[in-house]
Amino acid sequence: MRPFLVLICPVLLLLGLSYLLPFLGIMRLSFTDPVPGLAQYRTVAEDPLILSVIWRTLRICAIVTAVSVAAAYVVTLLWVRGRPLTRSIVELCIMIPFWISVLSRAFGWLSFLSNRGLLNTWLKDAGLIETSLQMTRNEFAIIVGMSHYLIPFAVFPLATAMRNLDERTLIAAEGMGASRLRIFWQVFLPMTASGILGATLLVFVFSVGFFVTPALLGGGQSVMVAELIYLWIFQTPKWGLAAAMSVILMLGVGSILVLLMRRYGRIAQ
Amino acid sequence: MTGTAQIEACSIDRKFGTFSALSGVSLSLGEGEFLSLLGPSGSGKSTFLSIIGGYDAPTSGKLLFEGRDITATPAKERGFGMVFQGYALFPHLTVAENIAFPLKVQKRPRAAIRDRVAEMVEMTGLSGHEKKKPAALSGGQQQRVALARALAYEPRVLLLDEPFSALDRNLRTQMQEELRRLHRDLGTTFVFVTHDQEEALALSSRIAIFNHGQLQQIGRPEEIYEAPANRFTAEFLGDINILTLDSAGGGICGTPIVLPGNAVPTGGHLAMRPEHMRLAAGSDGNQLPVRLRDRVYLGPKSRLMLETRGGEELMLYVENDALLPQLAAGSELHVAWDARHSFFL
């Protein structure tokens, strides 16, 4: 055995014990509890309520991913290519959220968006609205909360792509008479495509498994897959169903990753 | 120089803070010339090219194009072609799309673009590679795409920033040939930055030598090589032997020397190219006693490292077939040269 394999062994062992083994347990559970066979999977595939949760999850995650990546693109542009002062301010705004727990952030949004929260109060004081707008306990709140959490994660792949871009291609394009708009759409944006892809993957994969933010900001009204699994484990004893759902989630995310990396792996390099 | 000046630089200065990248550079360039800007790195040659192209602005001084002041004109309005160091190709576009880019910017008709791209592909020998991305091309091919893209819109002036620095020696020679051919066929003015003296000598109609941000000398390759204006130019371009003249009598270490132009100098330096010197046989011309310090075998010839009695080093090349094998370090020899090939520095 090569020496580096020996050195890497403890990590493999830890991962095997803490991730692989429990996952195999979940797999087993999904085929055995409460009845052996594929019954749990059939329920997931047929129950309209479960399907609607899956559909909602995919929809919210797609929107959140689009919003986060688009917003992160602008933020990263300011961070990488802005003036020094802009850069420092943006950098702070990216870093600070990392030090605040996901729970505090969800509560923050709750107090900002709720019926008697800051935003509604301001809007009323300004005379823009008569009665409070319903901005929590719905998908809007979930999307706001999740996007806010995920934007910084999208920033880093984008920043790498923007920093690696050969400045001279932009100078060359400008020298050939291209307008700023054309340079952005036809040179800058396609040249940072690898970063956009990376950010999209990262954010989507993170968002599919989100639990705290949707649970708090959705207020039980807009249940997503992770919350459903939680309910099945802790509130109603449907462990087999929860296990089946977990396996599907895992395989779904895994196959999206593999497919996209196959398709766009060349660009990412 | 052909006709009147196309480009004229008038005492161009460029300062970066307190650092002076260019100071007082003036030169004029005729249409259809091939000018090389030659100098060591940091000599200001690339900065000067950027200023001609409009990618950088001089701190003071003026730049004229066909008599018009273009000092403040941005690059895109000058319409010069530019081949960047590292090529700056668009990696996400194919060869054909790269070449078509400036034409699309100019909003030329689709059919005209297609024809022009085909023409450029043909001219630069890229046939069969139109649909490839730059990453799938060799260095030489990428270089050709950069040339084709810069020449696609028929610029009056083509600027090239060390275009061959990333290529290996054989490819370099080949690309130099192609560049000469393109220049001959198109009649476009070429301004070419390089730090390779041989490249500059082989390609240019004129060479401008830069050092420390100053223009040292500008002239035809043979003028610069055979009559360098100063010690820097003499030493930068090719090999040179520089010997200190005795303060009285015009000899070297007491040996009387025939000087060029029958001059009678007191002190100073006398310079000559190694290829104009030979090992003295008998009593011909100027002769100087030297001692052989080392001999470097180079295949067809050998380089002899010599030392005068005054301890000054000089070198010369000898054909290996004529070389006496008994030449060993420490041998006492005489070198000779024709006075017409020597000059004062």
Task: Give pLDDT tens digits for B139-191.
Answer: 889 999 999 999 999 999 999 999 988 888 888 888 899 899 999 999 999 99
Nearest CA in chain A to B154: A176
Confidence of residue B282 (pLDDT cuts 50, 70, 90): low
Look at residue A77 in the predicted model and tell me its pLDDT.
Answer: 95
Nearest to B46 by CA among B157, B147, B161, B150: B161
Residues 6+ apart with CB under 8 A from B142: B87, B89, B134
Nearest to A79 by CA among A64, A93, A65, A66: A93
Task: Give pLDDT tens digits for A129-149.
Answer: 888 889 888 899 999 999 999
Q: Is pLDDT at B2 greater than 50 in this prediction?
A: no
Nearest CA in chain B to A191: B92
Residue in B56, B76, B158 to test binding to A, most A beta-carbons within 10 Å: B76
**Helices A118-125 and A102-113, interaxial angle, to 10°?**
20
Q: Is pLDDT at A268 greater than 50 in this prediction?
A: no
Task: Give pLDDT tens digits for A162-211.
Answer: 999 999 999 999 999 999 999 999 999 999 998 998 899 889 988 998 88
Rg, C-alpha atoms of chain A: 23
> Of residues A35 and A80, which shows the higher confidence score?
A80
Nearest CA in chain A to B100: A176
Confidence of residue B224 (pLDDT cuts 50, 70, 90): very high
Residues of A in contact with B148 (CB under 8 A): none
Nearest CA in chain A to B77: A177
- Judged by CB atoms closer than 8 Å, whether chains meet at A176 and B54 is answered as no
Confidence of residue A219 (pLDDT cuts 50, 70, 90): confident
Residues B212-236 have a mean pLDDT of: 92
Delimit the CATH 2.40.50.140 region(s) of chain B: 241-344
| Under 8 Å between Cβ of A120 and A114 | yes
Calpha distance B195→B174 (Å, rounded): 18
Look at residue A63 in the predicted model and tell me its pLDDT.
Answer: 97
CATH T-level fold of B5-235: Rossmann fold (3.40.50)
Look at residue B265 in the predicted model and tell me its pLDDT.
Answer: 64
| Under 8 Å between Cβ of A155 and A76 | yes
Q: Is pLDDT at A57 greater than 60 in this prediction?
A: yes
Q: What is the assigned CATH class of domain B241-344?
A: mainly beta
Look at residue A269 in the predicted model and tell me its pLDDT.
Answer: 46
Nearest to B212 by CA among B198, B233, B191, B192: B233
Lowest mean pLDDT among A14-28, A224-238, B123-137, B252-266: B252-266
Residue in B90, B94, B149 to test binding to A, most A beta-carbons within 10 Å: B90
Query: CB pairs below 8 Å between A and B: how many?
Result: 51
The helix/strand count (H/E) of chain A reads as: 15, 0
Delimit the CATH 3.40.50.300 region(s) of chain B: 5-235
Lowest mean pLDDT among A253-267, B123-137, B297-311, B325-339: A253-267
Look at residue A42 in the predicted model and tell me its pLDDT.
Answer: 92
Going edge to edge, which strands form the sheet with B60-65?
Answer: B19-30, B5-16, B60-65, B68-69
- Token code pair at residue A62: 């797609």
Q: In chain A, what are the domains?
A: 48-268 (1.10.3720.10)
Task: Give pLDDT tens digits for B16-48.
Answer: 999 999 999 999 999 999 999 999 988 999 999
Cα four-point dihedral sign B336, B337, B338, B339: negative
Q: Is pLDDT at B253 greater than 90 in this prediction?
A: no
Interface ipTM > 0.90: no
Residues A51-71 have a mean pLDDT of: 95
Residues B107-131 have a mean pLDDT of: 94
Calpha distance A170→A161 (Å, rounded): 14
Tell me whether B106 touches chain A (CB under 8 Å).
yes
- Token code pair at residue A56: 């909602």
Tell me whether B84 touches chain A (CB under 8 Å).
yes
Q: Is pLDDT at B1 greater than 80 in this prediction?
A: no
Q: Is pLDDT at A242 greater than 80 in this prediction?
A: yes
Calpha distance B144→B146 (Å, rounded): 5
Mean pLDDT of chain B: 89
